[in-house]
Amino acid sequence: HISTRLFEAVEEVLAGGAPMSPSIARMVIDSMRQKPAENNYKLTSREKEILTSLSQGNSYKMIAAEFDISLDTVRTHIKKIYEKLQVHSQTEAVSKAINEGLV
């Protein structure tokens, strides 16, 4: 019985699959179902607000006006957001925020 499963698993791997036990499959499915923690990047509430505004297509100037802060303050927040999310551009930040449910 075990040798049959072993041969089936080898055939599955050779066909490009990834055989796994039912308990491992259950763990994978459970981890996919869990929504990531909203603040797993340690974003402050202001950083989340700015990231949300950025993801709505607002420019730095619009964000500054929306939150009544200077353009330099917006840039500082954006820089910290990029560092925390480990991204290098607005597109990457917005994409990661949307894909991971941060906004």
38-91 residue pLDDT tens = 557 899 999 999 999 999 999 999 999 999 999 999 999 999 999 999 999 998
Query: What pLDDT does residue 47 have?
Result: 95
Most confident of 4-18, 25-39, 70-84: 70-84
**Rounded Cα gap, residues 93 and 76, in angstroms:** 15
Indicate whether 103 pLDDT > 70: yes
> What are the structural domains of the chain?
2-33 (no CATH), 45-99 (1.10.10.10)
Could you tell me where the DSSP H helices lie in the chain? 2-14, 22-33, 45-55, 60-67, 71-85, 90-99
Tell if the pTM clears 0.75, that is, is over it: no
